[in-house]
């Protein structure tokens, strides 16, 4: 049973690496580590199986319940693909970006990603500098309490556990409230709006296109 | 418990106690101002970037901080870093005293501190003196101070965009030139009790070993310097980028005219035979964007990505165009006159240009346009000539333009122009070229 459980977990790690499941959980740079761990577990399971001695006749070997439970969980992980709600996660994570590299204006506005925009607005927080700039971004819909939903991305250094949400306020067309977690590509222009007496940059959405979740939705 | 077990428990407990102590100390540590520096880009006359050790409560900074004289200003940003922006539409009459106070998000107070800040640029001039020319700087009290020795010629002067120095091309009057860098120490932002003072010139540094036939200089707000130069008439020349940190990069671009660094940094505009191209600077992914047509770069606007171009038409007319990100160039003015100089405020909200019509006796005209090209003001510069090659430079801190104008056969002089009324204020100082030195 131990060999079976270890083998199952090895298969889980290997299958997650090969099928792209890990893209939802972990930065790509760590994927080979997970794959290698899966191979190591499979090898370990094989060695255990080889060295296993059959119990004496008439005596049953007792297997702790934890091994059964572990094997059941591995089977469930194999059977049910992960489908994380990024907006739920974003709502429960601090949005502090920390110290990041200096970002220059040199990238043309229409080529800036959502993350580029958020970093630029943070390092140069003067909304009037960007008013009228074309915007072409994509991300998932992140509902906000007392405000219209933002378009957001998750930044990760390692995995979902350290995910930091970054979002841009969007002025959505009237009568078409976007659904939480929906992935959208938004084209529009940057504008300045007054919110609670403070100016802030807001994307005036002119063209909204639903898109499938990107293969690698987490950004470094 | 064995002796080893006790020792392990003791070590673990000591580590835990140390971590708790550190946590409590950090929890009670007051917020500090880590950095205060002028912003590289601003939508107002000037702004400061502040970085704190902890995210601050912006509302407390709003209510507790003060400025004298009481100009209109606001805080931008969310917690940390923050930007103090002087609101557009006002001029800065003199040095500002800034009292900084507030609390962080834990309600712990920032130590009150007073800063003196003078964001107004200094006036630099190439002054004809006995034996040649010299670079001089106008002090705040209006007097002039020599910054360099006297050379037979001072062919080019390029203040670094961050105000940390001036690049100079001196000539011996026989076609041979030398390139120099004059470092300047500025004291335009100091914490009291230190006082503001005029820039102090450092040791003049030669930037090249051999004599040059010509050189063209350009700088950006980071303080990078671009040098296009050639040593002989047959030498195709070379282009070197000297970064503010002292690194040097050769640029491979073949240009059909003078290159210009983007003011915000990161890129260079290269005139090529097929049009104007924009290239990334070394250290970034290679990129080339082309704007075809017979155009030349006239001036950059303070807001990123905006610039004024002069377009030459086949029927010898010229037009002034405003370039904005993601949009085709927008024509603001067209005519048969030559465009001698241009300048703009913010993202092209207001544009000034000096035009001159040879057929009408070369009397220059100063025009003020809005961003749609509508004429707002016009002033004839009768009796004045624009000094060849001298730019028109806008000072957003005092809402004034700087021109180098010559009246009759006398020497040229710096002339300040009120950007709204277009009234002229000649300074009466004989110069060959007048420029602003950014307050660093």
Q: Are the beta carbons of B346 and A128 separated by less than 8 Å?
A: yes
Residue in B with minimal Cα distance to A123: B81
Q: Do A105 and B266 touch (CB under 8 A)?
A: yes
CA dihedral sign, ordered A46, A50, A52, A58: positive
Q: Which residue of A has its CA nearest to B40?
A: A124
The percentage of residues in chain B with a pLDDT greater than 90, rounded to a whole number, is: 74
Distance from B324 to chain A by nearest Cα, in Å?
Answer: 8
From CA B297, how far away is CA B320, in angstroms rounded? 10
A37 band by pLDDT with thresholds 50, 70 and 90:
very high
Between residues A4 and A97, the one the model is more confident about: A4
Residue A71's closest CA among A10, A25, A22? A10
Q: Which residues of A122-139 are buried (b: 16+ CB within 10 A; e: fewer)?
A: bbbbbbbbbbbbbbbbbb
Higher pLDDT, A68 or B34: B34
Give the per-residue pLDDT at A96. 66
Q: What are the counts of helices (DSSP H) followed by strands (DSSP E) for chain B?
A: 2, 38
Q: What is the pLDDT of residue A106?
A: 55
Band the pLDDT of A101: cuts 50, 70, 90. very low
pLDDT in tens, B387-433: 998 999 999 999 999 999 998 878 899 999 999 999 999 999 999 99
Chain A residue closest to B346 (CA)? A129
3-state secondary structure of B32: coil
For the segment B97-112, the average pLDDT, to the nearest whole number, is 93
Interface residues of chain A, partner chain B, Cβ below 8 Å: 96, 104-106, 108-110, 122-129, 131-134, 198-199
Residue B151 has pLDDT above 90, yes or no: yes
CB of B87 within 8 A of CB of B67? no
Phi, psi (degrees; rounded to nearest 5) at B176? -110, 135
Window 331-360 of B, Cβ < 8 Å to A: 346-347
DSSP collapsed to 3 states, chain A? CHHHHHHHHHHHHHHHHHHCHHHHCECHHHHHHHHHHHHHHHHHHHHHHHHCCCCCCCCCCCCCHHHHHHHHHHHHHHHCCCCCCHHHHHHCCCCCCCCCCCCCCCCCHHHCCHHHHHHHHHHCCCHHHCCCCEEEEEEEEEEECCEEEEEEEEECCCEHHHCEEEEEEEECCCCCCCCCCCEEEEEEEEEEEEECCEEEEEEEEEEEEECCCCCCCEEC
Q: Which residues of A77-105 are buried (b: 16+ CB within 10 A; e: fewer)?
A: beeeeeeeebbebbeebeeeeeeeeebbb
Q: How far is CA B23 from the centre of its chain?
A: 43
Chain B CB contacts of A132 under 8 Å are 324, 347
Measured between alpha carbons, how far is residue B172 from residues B88, B135, B150, B154, B168 in Å? 45, 15, 11, 9, 13
B280 and A109 within 8 Å at the Cβ level: the answer is: no
Handedness of CA B263, B243, A109, B44 (dihedral sign): negative
What are the tens digits of pLDDT across the range B168-221?
Answer: 999 998 889 999 999 999 999 999 999 999 999 999 999 988 889 989 999 999
Contact B362, B356 (CB under 8 A): yes
- CB contact under 8 Å between A125 and B262, yes or no, is no
Q: How far apart are CA B173 and CA B426, in angstroms?
A: 29
Closest Cα to residue B396, out of B37, B36, B49, B39? B39
What ipTM was reported for this prediction?
0.77
Measure the CA–CA gap between B382 and B377, rounded to whole angstroms.
16
Is B303 an 8 Å CB contact of chain A?
A: yes
Q: Which residues contact B228 (CB under 8 A, 6 or more apart)?
A: B215, B216, B217, B237, B238, B239, B255, B258, B259
Residues of A in contact with B39 (CB under 8 A): 124, 126
Q: A91 versus B92: which is more confidently predicted?
A: B92
For B265, which of A106, A108, A131 is closest by C-beta distance?
A106
Crossing angle, helix A2-19 and helix A65-79, to 10 degrees? 20
**Cβ-contact B147, B432 below 8 angstroms:** no
Mean pLDDT to the nearest integer, B307-314: 94
Residue A24 has pLDDT above 60, yes or no: yes
Report CB contact under 8 Å: B78, A125. Answer: yes
pLDDT of residue A102 exceeding 80 = no
Q: What are the DSSP calls for B203-249, one per residue?
A: --EE--SS-BSEEEEEE-TT--EEEEEESSTT---EEEEE-TTS-EE
Closest listed residue to residue B45, CA positions, set B437, B399, B392: B399
Give the Cα separation of A167 and A90 in Å (integer): 9
pLDDT, position B324: 86
Give me A78's structure tokens: 């194999």
Q: What is the dihedral of CA A145, A149, A151, A156, to 10 degrees?
A: 20
CA atoms in the 13 A half-sphere facing the CB of B30: 9
Task: Identify which of B405, B410, B408, B407 has the alpha carbon closest to the alpha carbon of residue B434.
Answer: B405
| CB-CB under 8 Å, A110 with B326 | yes
Residue B328: pLDDT over 90: no
**Has residue A52 got a pLDDT over 80?**
no
- B238-296 residue pLDDT tens: 999 999 998 999 998 888 889 999 998 888 999 998 899 999 888 887 888 888 889 99
Q: What's the confidence (pLDDT) of residue A98?
A: 58
pLDDT for A198: 83
For B336-374, list the strands marked E by DSSP: 338-345, 350-356, 364-370
Omega before A96 within 30 of 0, i.e. cis: no
Q: Using the beta-carbon criterion (under 8 Å), do B78 and A124 form an inter-chain contact?
A: no
Query: What's chain A's average pLDDT?
Result: 85
Shortest alpha-carbon distance between residue A121 and chain B (Å): 8
User: Which residue would you say has higher pLDDT here, A19 or A136?
Assistant: A136
- Distance from C-alpha of B409 to C-alpha of B163, rounded to nearest angstrom: 33
As a whole number of angstroms, the distance between CA B50 and CA B31 comes to 13
The reply to whether residue B42 touches residue A126, judged by beta carbons under 8 angstroms, is: yes
> 């076609």: which residue's tokens?
B175
CB contact set of B200 (below 8 Å; sequence gap of 6+): B184, B185, B187
- pLDDT at residue A182 tops 90: yes
Write the pLDDT tens digit of every residue in B245-254.
989 999 988 8
Q: CB of B312 within 8 A of CB of B338?
A: no
Band (pLDDT 50/70/90 cuts) for residue B133 is very high
Instruction: Find chain A residues with C-beta within 8 A of B284's C-beta.
Output: 106
Residue B100 has pLDDT above 70, yes or no: yes
Tell which wins on pLDDT, A148 or A94: A148
- Name which of A208-217, B83-92, B330-339, B354-363 the model is least confident about: B354-363
Between the CA of residue B285 and those of A48, A102, B278, what are the distances in Å?
Answer: 51, 16, 13
* Paired strand residues for B157: B168
Mean pLDDT estimate for chain B? 92
Nearest C-alpha in B relative to A188: B326
pLDDT in tens, A194-212: 888 788 999 999 999 999 9
Task: Check whether A103 has a pLDDT greater than 60.
Answer: no
Asked if B324's CB is within 8 angstroms of A199's CB, the reply is: no
Q: How far apart are CA A93 and CA A9, in angstroms?
A: 29
Residue of B132 and A87 predicted with greater confidence: B132
Residue B422 touches chain A, beta carbons under 8 Å? no
Alpha-carbon span B252 to B286, nearest angstrom: 12
The yes-or-no verdict on residue A153 having pLDDT over 60 is: yes
Distance CA B371, CA B347 (A): 9
Mean pLDDT of B126-143: 96
Closest-CA residue to A151 (of A188, A184, A191): A184
3-state secondary structure of B5: helix
Asked if residue B243 lies in contact with residue B224, where contact means CB atoms within 8 angstroms, the answer is: yes
């Amino acid at each position: 049973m131990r060999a079976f459980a270890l083998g199952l977990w090895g298969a889980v790690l290997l299958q997650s690496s090969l099928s792209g499941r890990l893209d939802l959980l972990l930065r790509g740079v760590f994927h080979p580590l997970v794959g290698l761990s899966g191979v190591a577990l499979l090898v370990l399971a094989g060695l255990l199986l080889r060295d296993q001695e059959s119990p004496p006749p008439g005596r049953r070997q007792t297997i702790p319940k934890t091994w059964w439970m572990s094997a059941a969980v591995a089977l469930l992980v194999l059977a049910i693909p992960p489908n994380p709600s990024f907006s739920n996660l974003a709502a429960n994570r601090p949005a502090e970006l920390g110290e990041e590299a200096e970002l220059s204006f040199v990238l043309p506005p229409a080529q800036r990603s959502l993350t580029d925009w958020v970093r630029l607005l943070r390092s140069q927080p003067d909304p009037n500098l960007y008013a009228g700039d074309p915007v072409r971004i994509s991300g998932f819909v992140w509902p906000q309490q007392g405000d219209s939903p933002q378009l957001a991305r998750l930044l990760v250094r390692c995995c979902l556990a350290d995910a930091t949400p970054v979002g841009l306020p969007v002025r959505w067309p009237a009568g078409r409230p976007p659904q939480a977690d929906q992935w959208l590509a938004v084209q529009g222009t940057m504008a300045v709006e007054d919110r609670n007496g403070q100016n802030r940059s807001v994307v005036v959405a002119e063209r909204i296109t639903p898109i499938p979740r990107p293969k690698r939705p987490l950004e470094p | 418990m064995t002796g080893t077990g006790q020792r392990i428990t003791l070590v673990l407990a000591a580590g835990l106690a140390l971590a708790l102590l550190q946590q409590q100390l950090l929890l009670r540590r007051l917020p500090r101002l880590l950095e205060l520096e002028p912003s590289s880009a601003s939508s107002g006359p000037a702004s400061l970037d502040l970085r704190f050790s902890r995210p601050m409560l912006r509302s407390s900074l709003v209510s507790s901080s003060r400025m004298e004289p009481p100009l209109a200003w606001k805080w931008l940003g969310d917690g940390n870093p923050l930007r103090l922006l002087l609101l557009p539409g006002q001029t800065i009459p003199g040095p500002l005293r800034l009292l900084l106070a507030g609390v962080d998000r834990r309600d712990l107070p920032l130590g009150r501190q007073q800063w003196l800040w003078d964001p107004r640029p200094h006036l630099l001039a190439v002054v004809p003196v006995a034996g040649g020319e010299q670079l001089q700087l106008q002090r705040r009290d209006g007097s002039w101070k020599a910054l360099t020795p006297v050379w037979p010629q001072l062919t080019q002067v390029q203040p670094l965009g961050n105000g940390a120095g001036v690049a100079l091309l001196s000539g011996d009057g026989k076609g041979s030139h030398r390139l120099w860098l004059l470092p300047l120490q500025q004291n335009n932002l100091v914490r009291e009790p230190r006082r503001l003072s005029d820039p102090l010139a450092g040791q003049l540094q030669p930037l090249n070993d051999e004599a040059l036939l010509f050189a063209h200089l350009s700088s950006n707000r980071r303080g990078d310097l671009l040098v296009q130069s050639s040593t002989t008439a047959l030498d195709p020349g070379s282009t070197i980028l000297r970064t503010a940190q002292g690194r040097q990069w050769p640029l491979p671009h073949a240009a059909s005219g003078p290159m210009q660094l983007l003011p915000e940094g990161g890129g260079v505009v290269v005139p090529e035979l097929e049009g104007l191209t924009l290239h990334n600077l070394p250290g970034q992914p290679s990129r080339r964007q082309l704007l075809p047509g017979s155009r030349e770069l006239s001036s950059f606007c303070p807001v990123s990505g905006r610039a004024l171009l002069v377009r030459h038409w086949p029927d010898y007319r010229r037009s002034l165009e405003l370039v904005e990100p993601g949009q085709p160039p927008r024509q603001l003015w067209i005519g048969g006159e030559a465009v001698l100089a241009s300048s703009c405020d913010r993202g092209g909200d207001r544009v000034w240009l000096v035009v001159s019509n040879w057929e009408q006796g070369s009397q220059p005209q100063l025009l003020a346009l809005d961003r749609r090209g509508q004429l707002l003001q016009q002033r004839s510069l009768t009796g004045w000539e624009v000094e060849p090659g001298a730019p028109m430079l806008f000072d957003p801190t005092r809402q004034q333009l700087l021109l180098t104008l010559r009246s009759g056969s006398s020497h040229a002089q710096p002339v300040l122009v009120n950007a709204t009324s277009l009234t002229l204020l000649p300074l009466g100082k004989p110069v060959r070229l007048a420029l602003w030195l950014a307050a660093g």
